[in-house]
Structure 1
Amino acid sequence: MREESKLLLERYDHYFLRQYNYRYWLLIVTNHFDSCHGFFLESQKKGEAIIHSNELLELPFASGLYDEVFRALRAHSHLRIIYRDTHHLVKMVPAVTFDPLHGHRHSTAYLPPERKKK
């Protein structure tokens, strides 16, 4: 077994606490921005909106490495797996143009050239 697989399973066992009234699932993210695969264990307490996420492993894009680690994880865990890809983001949000609490006292929206003050 590869060292990466051992590390992933060790972290999985550490964070998977099997607590009462908690839901657990695995999240695998193909991150094209950082050229890596991210493995996460997520949990949510019954009745709460907050989702707790624990990073298990980050693998660089390399041939064969992802498949081996994934097979080891599937053999070790029977949790549901959700796949995400940064090419298809879950929630596209517009850029912040006005936020007085975080330093944007004035709108940062771009003005058309004819309205700009000179």
Structure 2
Amino acid sequence: MPSDLKLITERIDHLFKRKMQTRYWLMVTDDVYDKTYNFFFNFQKKGQRLRSVPLHTVSNYDLGYLERLITGLRKHTQLTIEYVGFTGQRWPVSQRIIQRKKEADE
């Protein structure tokens, strides 16, 4: 995990510019077909279109591993993390629901 976490945090630090009137957040998607978790860095300046930059694909398809990775990310950054594709799933350790709402297209 340290290599995944290190790679993601380095890429976040490189992209996060702290510009005025710009919203930044992370998105984690559950790719059930490829059995991977994908991380994206999203940002949107006021009045402009959304930009989404792929950060990393985690091939260790284990929720326990992902939970530890997210814990490390939360220690590194205060950015909001949005989850997509995790409806009905819970974190193995904390037992908290991962994704509160369904995607709009379902």
TM superposition score category, shorter chain reference: 0.7 to 0.9
Moved over 4 A (4+): 86-89
TM-score normalised by the chain length of structure 1: 0.67
* In structure 2, C-alpha distance between the alignment counterparts of 1:39 and 1:63, rounded to whole Å: 14
Quote the residue 2:78 is aligned against: 78
Q: Is residue 2:73 matched to residue 1:59?
A: no
Quote the residue 2:105 is aligned against: 91
* In structure 2, C-alpha distance between the alignment counterparts of 1:33 and 1:89, rounded to whole Å: 17
1:44 shift after superposition: 0.4
Percent sequence identity over aligned pairs: 32
Q: Is residue 2:22 matched to residue 1:8?
A: no
* In structure 2, C-alpha distance between the alignment counterparts of 1:70 and 1:35, rounded to whole Å: 17
Quote the residue 2:91 is aligned against: none
- Residue by residue over 1:13-54, the C-alpha shift from the partner in whole angstroms, topping out at 9 and shown as x without a partner, is 011111122110111111112111111110001012x11011
Quote the residue 2:93 is aligned against: none
SS at match of 2:14: helix
Aligned-residue RMSD, C-alpha: 2.0
| Unpaired runs of at least 5, structure 2 | 88-101
Q: Which has the larger radius of gyration?
A: 1
| Unpaired runs of at least 5, structure 1 | 93-118
